[in-house]
Amino acid sequence: MPRVLAANAWFKGTAIAVLDESLQLLTWTWLLSSPALQVSRSPVQVRQGYHAPLGAAGNFTPPWSLRSYDTRLFNFDGRHVFATALEPCEHSPKHRCAGQGQAEFGVQLLQLTAEATASGGATALRAWLTARASSSARWMQGRNQALFRAPATAWQAAAGGAAAGGAADGAGPPRLMAQPWLGLVASLGTPSFRNETVRCHHRSSYAARRQQLAECATTPRDATATVHKVRGLTAAALAHNETAALAARLGLGLGLGLGSGLGGAPLLQRLSTTTGLLEVSRRRGARRCSALLGVGHTHRRDGPLLRGRGLGRRRPTGRRGASAEAEAEAPSPFQFGSEYMHFFYTLAPTPPHQLLATSAEFCVGAAQAPHDCESVQFIAGLALQAGAQRALQTGQPELRRGRSNGSRLVLSLGVNDCEAKLGLVLMQRVWKLLQPLPPAEAPCTVN
């Protein structure tokens, strides 16, 4: 371990866990976000703690160098998973950021390898990121972008680019989209994938070694690994901006001023997207109604580290007799933000993906006090349990309550920046919580 530690050294690293269909842990490992700079063949560099050795897997000692923060996973097509993360700017000199001490948002492709066990489990798990796509646009910076996918033909039709009698059946690869703020939608390109089996760490030149470290990470020397390759990722391009109209609909004043960064609508900026968007649907009469489901959040109190960095924002306390000034000066047991609240929301599944509905604020009950909530909690992932996902893909109606667990929504969340937990909620309940925002008449749109 280094003798001198950075102020943020309590962030040890990011763990990747693999669960089975019953949500039981199979195995886990540390994520390597920049394997070319985090893995080394040198025993000296490994002993210093800044690099992981070849062959490392599972519960190895994570490297101290180039850690990424606030990593979220997004299942793009059932086979390929993208990760969003923040990487300190000083670790990426070729990318532009807001300044020293800040972090830059990026999208990368997750690589996973493991060995199957006789009992149906997995061991020797390795996880690393490749194929980074980033953006220097200020409206794309921050940790809370929501990824989703959209049919490319739908965007072509919206732009008037679909030829008459053309591919209206959804043919062609879908687009990877991002929602950095409520009301903003950006395109990250049209990714296409291929698998490539590579022989790892057998070349001797410096350039070849760096390339193989990036491709293979800690895979043992001369072993083979199947690596996902992606093409078509691009820097974020703004596709739709309805922040002014959305702020007016929500009664929050002016919209985000893109010309001056994010200078307008301070209240709208407090509502952050939190998870990747999930494709959901339900029956509406004889037809199917579809939407993109997400979770947003806000926090109402800043800890001393946020205030000390000038990142704190004055927020309404919601407490009778308490002034904003007294709240800002009150000591907090939490170093960063606290008093988190979440809300569900849906977007239209077709361009330009307007906001359709939101729920009231909610928080997840604490394990030791179900009628109270932890002050620091953060929902970072959404997924349908396996039965509901299969029903959605085959176009079958959602399974009714009591007949199967397939109609449940799984929420992954962090508690007090210390624990990872899973929560379950019936999709039927989520639909009831969602209230349409005029002019929308329902939280979903009929196909």
Contact 56, 217 (CB under 8 A): no
Q: Residues 20-24: what's their mean pLDDT?
A: 88
Q: Does residue 292 carry a pLDDT above 80?
A: yes
What is the total residue count of the chain? 447
Q: Does residue 305 carry a pLDDT above 90?
A: no
Residue 365 DSSP code: B
Q: Does residue 314 carry a pLDDT above 80?
A: no
- What pTM did the predictor assign? 0.82
At 428, which helix (H) or strand (E)? helix 427-433
Q: Does residue 136 carry a pLDDT above 70?
A: yes
For residue 352, cis peptide bond before it (omega within 30 degrees of 0): yes
Can you give the residue ranges of every domain in the chain? 1-139+189-236, 274-447
pLDDT tens figures, 78-123: 899 999 877 655 455 444 454 444 556 789 999 999 999 998 889 9
In terms of C-beta density within 10 A (0-12 exposed, 13-18 middle, 19 or more buried), how is residue 274 classed?
buried
Secondary structure class of 17 (helix, strand, coil): strand
Query: What radius of gyration do the chain's Cα atoms show?
Result: 23
Residue 287 pLDDT grade (very low, low, confident, very high; cuts 50, 70, 90): confident
Least confident of 139-148, 273-282, 417-426: 139-148
Residue at token pair 């620091």: 376
Q: State the average pLDDT for the chain.
A: 78
Q: Which residues pair with 19 in a beta bridge?
A: 25
Sign of the torsion angle spanned by Cα atoms 143, 147, 152, 158: negative
Q: Does residue 264 carry a pLDDT above 60?
A: no
Q: How far apart are CA 35 and CA 49, in angstroms?
A: 14
Q: Residues 290-307: what's their mean pLDDT?
A: 83
